[in-house]
Amino acid sequence: MVLALALAACQQKPADDGRPETSREFPVADRPVSRLGANSVSSEVERDSVNEANVVMNLADIREGMSVADIGAGEGYYTVRLAQRVGKKGRVLAEDIDRDANEQLGQRVLRERLENVSIVLGTEDDPRLPPDSFDRIMLVHMYHEVTEPYAFLWRLQPALRKGGKVIVVDVDRPTDEHGIPPELLFCEFASLGFRLTEFVRKPELQGYYAQFEAGSARPEPADIVPCRLSGDKTASKD
């Protein structure tokens, strides 16, 4: 599927469209969204057999003492490995919108005695991260499930420290097939002022790695110009 991307003015939707009230000042995402998937992409043994987490953490230059947020943490595949990488002087905040997943991860954190890990319950349009707190924010195989990307990224951006980076790992396929084409990803991040600083395709990741840095300032919600998929599915921008 070839995606056509165009910057277009936000269209208002009726009040009963199911959007959260906290998202209504932001543009509507003009793309289908995958249903929430399983809390694990594949087994941890399978992912470790191709060294997935280490590949991502090395690309992201995650080091001892860093503060990292794991968004859409699920069962904690990355959470526990990030905790080991950043060490006792670092910290990991694991976030998910699934309360049951958070409870199960909390039990795992206690069982594995990961004292540098904390857990937060987010919402579909707000990861609820403290401001100026993170060197890296990880969005691994989850961004395609974000129903309100503009509100989500707008609220995520202040959580980055100076020089901090947002890391996205995802699959190059339509958003309703549990992936997101890179061009659409780049467009949505750019609409919030993020800059793409690295992009690589890696078989170990079951997809690609993209790295972003925040711009100088967030746009006001009313000034965000959304990305649009054109009907003919050809790649273009206005």
Q: What is the pLDDT of residues 66-76, one digit of tens each?
A: 999 999 999 99
Q: CATH no. for residue 200?
A: 3.40.50.150
Q: Using alpha carbons, select from 152, 162, 142, 140 the residue that is nearest to residue 214.
A: 162
The pLDDT of 209-226, averaged and rounded, is 95
Q: Which residue has the higher pLDDT, 152 or 4?
A: 152
With respect to residue 224, please indicate whether it lies within any of the assigned structural domains: yes
Number of domains in the chain: 1
**Least confident window among 3-7, 149-153, 215-219:** 3-7
pLDDT for 43 equals 87
Distance CA 227, CA 28 (A): 9
pLDDT for 107 equals 98
With respect to residue 24, please indicate whether it lies within any of the assigned structural domains: no
Q: pTM of this prediction?
A: 0.88
Other C-beta atoms closer than 10 Å to the C-beta of 195 total: 12
pLDDT of 12 > 50? The answer is no
CA atoms within 13 A on the CB side of 219: 19
pLDDT for 206 equals 82
Decide: 45 and 66 in contact? Cβ < 8 Å. Answer: no
Q: Please give the mean pLDDT across all residues of the chain.
A: 89
With respect to residue 111, please indicate whether it lies within any of the assigned structural domains: yes
pLDDT for 114 equals 98
Q: How far apart are the first and last CA of the chain?
A: 20
Domain hosting residue 118, numbered range: 5-11+34-229
